[in-house]
A and B are shown apart, each in its own frame.
Chain A
Amino acid sequence: MMIRKGLFLSAVVVVMSIFLFSSCAEKEVKPEAKPEAVAPKEKMKDELLAKVEETPKLQDIHFDFDKYNIREDAKATLMKNAEWLKKNPGVKIQVEGHCDERGANDYNLALGDKRAKSTRDYLSSLGIDGGRISTISFGEERPQDPGHNEAAWAKNRRAHFVILK
């Protein structure tokens, strides 16, 4: 009988301790993945530039804010560009559509895409085979002028021409 009472008491003590300590749950914290340090500035190994060639013969044209129609002042430039393309029939080009920094990055990609396409369409209307012209948008990601003012923005809203290698 005494043994049974002893057992009974220890059972009570065990149960009590479970209740008293259970609110303090123990957790093992797993180590995190090793953080990678942010490397210092290094030159971009630019695969974007490696595949194209810049040419001064093809001039940029510019656009109004949130617009992709070809402006009157751009038409003369596109005519000169078309002349050069006619004299160099073997050349394939890519039209890059660019935007200023204002607005959403992805909306600007779609807008730059529209700018590149309307530029290509205009060149086609001047008799350049559309098959020679591909397009890409860089949105606001590659400004020509890094400034944050109207003068910089006006320069950055552009269609730029590169020769595909």
Chain B
Amino acid sequence: MIRKFRVQSLEFRVLVFILSLFTIYYSLFTEVQAKIYIDINAPSFRRIPIAVTEFKNLGTAPDREGHSQKMTEVIKNNLNFTGFFELLNPASFIEDPNRAGIAEESIDFKDWAAIGAEALIKGGIIFDGQRITVEARLFDVFQGRMITGKRYTGDVKDFRKIAHNFSNEIVKSFTGEEGIFETSIALISNSIGAKEIYVMDYDGYNIRRMTNSGSLNLSPNWSPDGSKIAFSSVRGRSWWLYTIDLKTKEEKRLTLQRGLNISPSFSPNGDKLAFAYSKEGNSDIYIMEGNNMRRITNHVAIDISPSWSPDGKNIAFVSDRGGSPQIYIMDSNGEGVRRITFEGNYNVSPSWSPRGDRIVFASRRGGKFEICTINPDGSDLQQLTYEGNNENPSWSPDGRYIVFSSRRDGGTGIYSMRANGENQRLITSKGVTAINPAWSPRTRE
């Protein structure tokens, strides 16, 4: 077989030579793309100064609804959210936007170096009826070349999605890991009277109702593939566990006994569901696998709120077996129960980081509820919130951010923050009462 490919002519040899040159060039180029500019795990890292220019209309049809500006704003908001970047003020930009293009050769990188920019975002849109073509590029100002570029075609109404996708590319270029801008957050809101489940984009946009039960629904928990949400719901004067398929909105009641079936939690590979069940006033943790239900705690105290470690070997949960609600960890078969919180008399709602290194929970401190994180061995407790009353924390799939509900500024809404407590911001609309946020896994279509 190999013999067939023996070099036979001079031309062919030259072609092979040129090809290998390009291969070398190409692998160097991709290495640049994959180079990690920011070590976000370093104790302190420097924010990258980045300039985001407004996307240009590259076509002949007008931009009637200001999508160029909107798209730029979405990208800026995403980059701001990460905490990795310092967004430069457009007032400081030297470049004449009417003259400069979005291609490497039409950019004078000195104009950007002069204002301290190390990275530059440029983009263009062509409008064609309800369709758009978007060209988005990230440049390295020092090296004067493109780091990554993408071309998208889609419906105008998908402009946020396109901006989120490109933002993910930007974060990937700098950190080696994709961003979380295309993820969603489930929550509970009583906007229409009953407490129903809603899903919104990670930044609070595009909120849509999932359940229509006219009842009480709580504790949404995503399946690891992002296709469904488990939750607890009161139906017929009893609490049951349901799953809802997010595409079809079809609800399925899990086969359970009447009583209090609450706080479902999918195992990392999705084949098991841990939850709390109480029949006679004593809730314990159970694991359901297929049609099998196994009790894994057996204590007269309250055992509730299981959360799996990302390797599936351990489960964090809440128990008041020590006289007050505290966070405990056990092996996923129920053995080896050990308490990890000892500060304060009310620690609840544990959620294990997808990175495995921290557990986030809500803690009552000085009469108020605050979000804290702790190592799974009980060391290095950190308080992240200091304002309002904060509950029900949930990790982003990359373990870098936390969403939680907070009653502050006269309302109760969903807030997000970095895993170190920085950059706290309200993501639901003002005036919308929302609780119980659950961050989705990364999903791919």
Contact = CB atoms under 8 A, between A and B. Distances in A.
Contact of B364 (A33, A36, A103): A103
Contacts of A16: 22
Interface in B151-209: 151-155, 157-158, 161-162, 165, 191-195, 198, 206-209
B195 to A, nearest CB: 7
B26 A46 contact: no
Contacts of A51: 236-237
A107 B15 contact: no
B410 to A, nearest CB: 10
Chain B interface residue bracket vs A? 35 or more
Interface string B65-83: 0000000000000000000
B445 A48 contact: no
A148 interface: yes
Nearest to B149: A24
Interface string A1-37: 0001100100110011001001111111111110111
Interface string A38-76: 111111111110011000000000000010000000000
Given A109-B218, A137-B260, A104 B305 contact: yes
Contacts of B135: 24
Contact of A31 (B11, B158, B325, B362): B158
A138 B445 CA distance: 38
Interface string B191-235: 111110010000000111100001110110000000000001011
Contacts of A28: 152-154
Interface stretch (B121-129, B278-286, B329-337): B278-286
Please classify the interface of chain A as helix (H, G, I), strand (E, B), loop, or mixed, using the class held by over half of its residues: mixed
Contacts of B298: none
Please classify the interface of chain B as helix (H, G, I), strand (E, B), loop, or mixed, using the class held by over half of its residues: strand
Chain A interface residue bracket vs B? 35 or more
B191 A141 contact: no
Given A110-B276, A113-B283, A23 B445 contact: no
Given A41-B193, A102-B364, A104-B391, A12 B318 contact: no
B65 to A, nearest CB: 17
Contacts of A32: 158, 161, 206
A77 B245 CA distance: 46
A110 B362 contact: no
23 contacts: A8-B11, A15-B18, A24-B135, A26-B151, A26-B152, A38-B432, A41-B191, A44-B214, A46-B214, A51-B236, A103-B325, A105-B219, A105-B435, A107-B302, A110-B302, A110-B304, A113-B260, A114-B281, A118-B281, A136-B237, A138-B216, A138-B234, A139-B218
Interface of B: 11, 14-15, 18-19, 22, 25-26, 29, 33, 135, 146, 148-155, 157-158, 161-162, 165, 191-195, 198, 206-209, 214-216, 218-219, 232, 234-239, 247, 260, 262-263, 276, 278, 280-281, 283, 302, 304-305, 318, 324-325, 346, 348-349, 362, 364, 369, 389, 391-392, 407, 432, 435-436, 445
